[in-house]
Amino acid sequence: MPDVRVRPGECHVWTARAVSVSSGLVALLDAAERRVYESFLRERDRSLYLTAHALLRLVLAEALDRDPARLVFAAGPHGKPYVEDASVEFSLTHSGERVAVAVASGAPVGVDVERVPEPAAELPLPVLSPAERVVYDRVPEPERAAAFTAYWVRKEAVLKATGEGLRVDPARLTVSAPDRPAELLGWRGREKAVQPHPPVRLYDLDAGEGYRGAVALLGPAHRIVRHDGGGVLRRPRRAADGDPGASSARC
């Protein structure tokens, strides 16, 4: 019996900090993942990748009642991964020292977490739409990096849900202001909002201090159920006995 049931209308999200590369989780990776893992020169990049992919395997294995090491992934035309022989919808993200995995049933999902850059960092402001830029320009200087990151994760979550990723210019999308509830307000060129996808639902995701996160779902409104991914990573082979780390809330 799986630990976590992802029911229709629910989106489960696990967040975790990067774990040590000596954690033994490497055994869960397949040959392709191991090649990517070993290609990273810096240990922190290896550990972030390992954490994300091990967590993804563990939570999908729980949801599908499978062996985590035997899940076979493939990628869509623009790189969105899927499980070859299951219809589960999922998305993963890694940034800084954080990872997040979102799993939904029946609705394509995208999750994005990004570390807020240093205040002096040069930000790629052309990804903002004209309407977003008007709001952004009014944000006090010390809050701009966080505001930009909030815009960015909302847009990227949508583009990861559709699977198009950065093949679509993020400036085409207009999302709500960082201090407003997450919402997709417009998509230049897709004003009719019917094709190629159903309604876009956006939710903010608390990814910890210094980070911003968002989850997008294509379809009806979803209940977001948060989990402690660290607990899953620490107990990779535990027997099915419920999930004490689960909490249910709009995040």
The reply to whether 89 sits near ligand COA by the rule CB under 6 A is no
Could you tell me the smallest distance in angstroms from the CB atom of residue 103 to ligand COA?
Answer: 13
Q: Which stretch binds ligand COA (CB under 6 A): 39-47, 154-162, 189-197, 229-237?
A: 154-162
The reply to whether 48 sits near ligand COA by the rule CB under 6 A is no
CB closer to ligand COA, 18 vs 243: 18
Note whether 88 and 103 are within 8 A (CB): yes
Q: Which stretch binds ligand COA (CB under 6 A): 132-140, 161-169, 205-213, 240-248?
A: 161-169
The reply to whether 229 sits near ligand COA by the rule CB under 6 A is no
CB closer to ligand COA, 6 vs 243: 6
The reply to whether 46 sits near ligand COA by the rule CB under 6 A is no
Among 2, 9, 106, 165, binds ligand COA (CB under 6 A): 165
- Write the DSSP string, the chain: --S----TTEEEEEEEEPPPGGGSGGGGS-HHHHHHHHH-SSHHHHHHHHHHHHHHHHHHHHHHTS-GGG--EEE-TTS-EEETT---EEEEEEETTEEEEEEESSS-EEEEEEEPPPTTSPP-GGGS-HHHHHHHHTS-GGGHHHHHHHHHHHHHHHHHHHT-GGGS-GGGEEE--TTS---EEEETT-TT--SSSS-EEEEEE---TTEEEEEEEESS--EEEEEEHHHHHHSTT--S---TT-EE---
Cis-peptide, bond into residue 170, ω within 30° of zero: no
Total number of residues binding ligand COA (CB under 6 A)?
20
The reply to whether 52 sits near ligand COA by the rule CB under 6 A is yes
The reply to whether 124 sits near ligand COA by the rule CB under 6 A is no
Could you tell me the smallest distance in angstroms from the CB atom of residue 163 to ligand COA?
Answer: 4
Among 112, 132, 204, 243, binds ligand COA (CB under 6 A): 112
CB closer to ligand COA, 100 vs 243: 100
Could you tell me the smallest distance in angstroms from the CB atom of residue 25 to ligand COA?
Answer: 14
Measured CA to CA, the distance from residue 84 to residue 72 in angstroms comes to: 6
Among 79, 181, 189, 210, binds ligand COA (CB under 6 A): 79
State both tokens at 157.
């979550």
Among 2, 9, 81, 230, binds ligand COA (CB under 6 A): 81
Measured CA to CA, the distance from residue 170 to residue 148 in angstroms comes to: 13
Where does this chain bind ligand COA (CB under 6 A)? 49, 52, 78-81, 91-95, 110, 112, 156, 159-160, 163, 165-167
